[in-house]
Amino acid sequence: MMRALICIFAAMLVASHASAEEKPIELKTGAGLDKVQANCGTCHSLDYIQMNSPFLDAGKWDAVVKKMIRVMGAPIDEVDAKEIAEYLKSNYGG
């Protein structure tokens, strides 16, 4: 029993140390960044944007935003969706 508690405690220490070292995702500054952070960041990590930017051009970013709303159910209104798509195309559109 004591050994199990020590293992659990050690695992908690390692996990807390690892998460403390994670760097926050910093997206490019630009019009619409606030909308991206507020809408996209509520469902998934914003590193998704950086990881996929080499593969997505402007048209594909439009499709991604539409998919997030229509397929994934993201509650993003039309005005915000347009700003998000424009931000992604301008800053990560390849």
**15-41 pLDDT, tens digit each:** 554 455 667 889 999 999 999 999 999
**Residue 28 near residue 91, CB atoms below 8 Å:** yes
Fold of 25-92: Cytochrome Bc1 Complex; Chain D, domain 2 (1.10.760)
Per domain, the residue ranges of the chain are: 25-92
Q: How far apart are the first and last CA of the chain?
A: 56
pLDDT score of 7 more than 90: no
**51-72 pLDDT, tens digit each:** 999 999 999 999 999 999 999 9
Q: What is the pLDDT of residue 68?
A: 96
